[in-house]
Amino acid sequence: MALLYLLALIIVALVALVITRYQRSRRLKTGQQPPAGFSPTDEIFTDPTTGVRQRVWYNDATGERWYEPTNDPRP
C-alpha cells in the first residue's frame, strides 16, 4: 500500500512539474506582439517568479493587462 501511495505522489509531482514548465515557457516567449486594442504603459517591473523585466500593456476597453519581456533599464 505504501508503494502505491509513493507512486501516486511521484506521478502528481511530475504532472505539476510539466504544467509549471509549460506555463513558464509560454510566459517567457519573446517576439510576440500585443493583441489588438492594447497600448503600452510606463509600468515596467521585475517578475518575482522568473526575474524577467516586464513591460505592461493595457486594454482600455476590457481592463485586461498584457506583459511583454523587456530590456528597458528603468527601475
Please state, in angstroms and rounded to a whole number, the distance separating the CA atoms of residues 8 and 24: 24
| pLDDT tens column, 61-75 | 999 998 888 876 665
The Cα–Cα gap between 75 and 66 comes to: 19
Q: Do 75 and 46 belong to one domain?
A: yes
Q: What is the DSSP string of 8-37?
A: HHHHHHHHHHHHHHHHHHHHH--SPPPPTT
The 10s digit of each residue's pLDDT in 31-58 is: 577 888 999 999 999 989 888 888 999 9
Closest CA to 34 of 67, 62, 73: 67
Residues 44 and 14 in one domain: no
Higher local confidence (pLDDT), 16 or 22 = 16
25/37 same-domain check: no
The answer to whether 43 touches 19, Cβ cutoff 8 Å, is no
Which residues span the domain enclosing 2? 1-30
Q: Could you tell me the three cell numbers for 75?
A: 527601475
This prediction has a pTM of 0.53
